[in-house]
Amino acid sequence: MNRLALVTGAARGIGRAIAERLAADGFTVVAADRDLPDAADGITPIRLDVTDRLAVKAALTGLDRPVDVLVNNAGVYSDRPFMELTEADFEAMLAVNLMGVFIVSQEVLRSMPDGGRIVTVSSRSYLGARNMGHYGASKAAVVALTRTMAIEFADRDIAVNAIAPGLVETSILDQLTPERRADLARLQPTGRLGQPQDIAAAAAYLAAPATQFITGQVLIVDGGKSLGGVWM
């Protein structure tokens, strides 16, 4: 029987690419999102709000077997100068980006077989970024939660790791002009922006059975941008 993977935030963008990659690698994939994802070969879509614990419990009960691989990708994003941030901005960001990861991981771990995998999608902004105090803080908290789970579930051979994407070509960038995109691409050592498939490749690697000895790590996938000016 194929291993079962649950991918949250899988209606589009990075989450959809991860779901498609895992399906291509032979996983049976459940693609979850508040907006119902499209069905495809190897991919079963479900509607799910990761902040609703009862809904998460019900969704997991409806599966025909426990989840072997969980990819916590669901998240929200906005940018705002620090002095303009409000408590509501922080609460909205933390509710999905952090509490969603906590709720889904906790419920999945109740029945995840030994040797399972959890991959959380953080962001390079966990290192700090302008106008992203609330977003970066939520993603830094995801890294801390990832490392805690890695420690607590190591005795079950459950590897827990985070991916920290840099700038990736998703709908978030639709607001940018072609000129601004070109400027951002020139700042990358690789000379291009990331693609959802780049993040999907990292998720597939961390989901593979051979990576059990890799746990509690953050894999930054940003084309080398986190190197700063060193590469120039």
Element spanning 221, H or E: strand 218-221
Give the model's confidence band at 144: pLDDT under 50 very low, under 70 low, under 90 confident, else very high. Answer: very high
Q: Is 205 a catalytic residue?
A: no
What pLDDT, on the 0 to 100 scale, is given for residue 172? 74
Q: Is residue 146 assigned to a domain?
A: yes
Average pLDDT estimate for 188-205: 92
- For residue 198, how many other CB atoms are within 10 A of its CB? 21
Residue 152 lies in a domain: yes
Q: What is the CATH number of the domain that holds 150?
A: 3.40.50.720
Residue 80 CB coordination number (10 Å): 14
Domain membership flag for residue 227: no
DSSP character for 167?
Answer: S
Distance CA 168, CA 103 (A): 26
State how far the Cα of 161 lies from the Cα of 147, in Å rounded to an integer: 7
User: Residues 37-60: pLDDT tens digits?
Assistant: 999 999 999 999 999 999 999 999
Question: Is residue 13 included in any domain, yes or no?
Answer: yes
- What own/partner pairs with CB < 8 Å and gap ≥ 24 does 27-33 have? 27/2, 27/3, 27/68, 27/69, 27/207, 28/2, 28/3, 28/4, 29/4, 29/5, 30/4, 30/5, 30/6, 30/63, 30/67, 31/7, 32/6, 32/7, 32/8, 32/59, 32/74, 33/8, 33/9, 33/74
pTM over 0.95: no
Report if residue 228 sits inside a domain. no
207 domain residue, yes or no: yes
1 pLDDT above the threshold of 70: no
Does residue 231 lie in a domain region?
no
Q: Indicate whether 230 belongs to any domain.
A: no
Query: Domain total for the chain?
Result: 1
Q: Indicate the SS3 state at residue 55.
A: helix
Dist CA 174 CA 9 (whole Å)? 18
Range of the domain at 121: 4-221
134 pLDDT higher than 70: yes
Residue 176 has pLDDT above 60, yes or no: yes
- Note the Cα 229 to chain centre separation in Å: 27
pLDDT score of 79: 84
H/E segment holding residue 163 = strand 159-165
Q: Which residue has the tokens 């999102």?
A: 33
pLDDT at 182: 79
**How far apart are the C-alpha atoms of 103 and 108, rounded to whole Å?**
9
Band of residue 177 on the pLDDT scale cut at 50, 70, 90:
confident
